[in-house]
Amino acid sequence: METTTFKVGDRVYLPSFTHIVCDLEHNKSIHCNIQPLEILLREENCILAIKLTKDGKMSDNTNQIIFHATEKNHKLLSELHPNIDFEKPKSKLKGTELAKKLAKDSYILAWTDCHSDEKARNHKIARVVKYNNITNHFETELGHKWEYAVPAKLTKNGTVEITKQIT
């Protein structure tokens, strides 16, 4: 049986403790080489820190207790626990939504347009842009602005391609 591995930033289900999708964080305790991950469950008056190994267990001799937050796992958990309404995983980001996430703190290479993602994809020239939360536009260093941007990706052979999606 193949072992599932997890890393910091993964979105997961923890059905024994909660119905919401949780983010895996870095365990900042002394023994982080043994249990490098943790989930912090924040309720009104308490915080519960659940320490986990990279394969989703509380210790090496226990069963996996977390599962990646995917549509497939949502369906399986909902069938196993019909009385619990598990939070649906977020859909994968595409086009402008993906570009906003990637260009929030740094410049990215993207195709841009003022009308739609589809029109941006049809442009032959990609631009280096950063997303401005104040103006809600993608901007170049020279101040040119666009409402839509589709991120580009450099391939190993030096060509540029449109990114499909990100999780």
CA angle at 92 for the pair 89 and 94, rounded to the nearest 5°: 155
Residue 34 in this model has a pLDDT that exceeds 80: no
Residue 150 in this model has a pLDDT that exceeds 70: yes
pLDDT value for 166: 47
Name the nearest CA neighbour of 149 among 158, 141, 133, 119. 119
At 85-119, the pLDDT tens digits run: 998 888 777 889 889 988 988 999 999 999 999 99
Q: Please state the separation of Cα 158 from the chain's center in Å.
A: 26
Q: Please give the structure tokens belonging to residue 66.
A: 């977390």
Q: Are 6 and 36 in contact (CB under 8 A)?
A: no
Residue 75 in this model has a pLDDT that exceeds 90: yes
Of the two residues 64 and 61, the one the predictor is more confident about is: 64
Q: Please give the structure tokens belonging to residue 60.
A: 């090496």
Mean pLDDT (the chain) is 84
Edge to edge, the sheet with strand 127-132 lists 145-146, 137-139, 127-132, 108-113, 148-154, 160-162
